[in-house]
Amino acid sequence: MEIAGAETAVVIAAGAGRRMRETNGGARPKPATLVVGIPIVVRVLWRLAETGVRRAVVVTGCRAPEVEATARAGRPPGLELVFVHNEGWERQNGLSVLAARHAVGGAPFVLTMADHLYSPLVIEALRTVRARDVDVALAVDRRLNEIGDIDDATRVRTGAGGRIAEIGKGLPAYDAIDTGVFLCAPALFDAIEGERDASGDCSLSQGVARVAQGGRALAVDVPKEAWWQDVDNAADLARAERKLLRYEAVAAHVAPTVQVA
């Protein structure tokens, strides 16, 4: 399956974001955290719409009604929103991906986290993938010295032809960092199902690793002009705002101001 033309996205917005509570005191769910005045999940939705996505499946969990209200209030014109709830949101993130399976159907999809911000160049790089033997394409950053919290980052080791050899936190040998932005075929759902443990739990990285074992996971380097930021705590939030203001000419005007219901 060629995945480059995906018009559906899955946005994982289910986690509790416990570290962000230090920043906002728990007043907002993490996806509603303001970044230069706009909720982070709204910025993600506008970025997706800007880069060819027409339908976004938003997976909620913790404080789902507030997250859904925030996303609806800031929805870009022309972007269809579908909400699914992950009852097991306190477990690993692979279950949040699986929660979107029915809504996605048999189409290829962009997969992104609601707390990762990035420039359009990241998705544009993924859309250059034309190989039909790729079920997962992951945007990776090889600028290891520029990663803010590399100890917490998901690490990637690549092999011949840019194929992913290993992925996970704590890898001793690695040459790239996972940006949290993927292009996927529905085969990823089967891979995650195949990695579930006796309790039914599984991480996204375990699913990607299973795809990689079959040689069907590709690392795609983000261009040197591209930026991205995972927002987990106050320091990350400050980095994200600096990057937005530096690289985005209209950082404070990409979406309407949205209030959490």
pLDDT one digit per residue (tens) for the chain, 261 residues: 677 899 999 999 998 877 676 666 677 899 999 999 999 999 999 999 999 999 999 999 999 999 999 999 999 999 999 999 999 999 999 999 999 999 999 999 999 999 999 999 999 999 999 888 999 999 999 999 888 778 889 999 999 999 999 999 989 999 999 999 999 999 999 999 999 999 999 999 999 999 999 999 999 999 999 999 999 989 999 999 999 998 875 444 444 444 444
Q: pTM here?
A: 0.92
d(CA 216, CA 192): 14
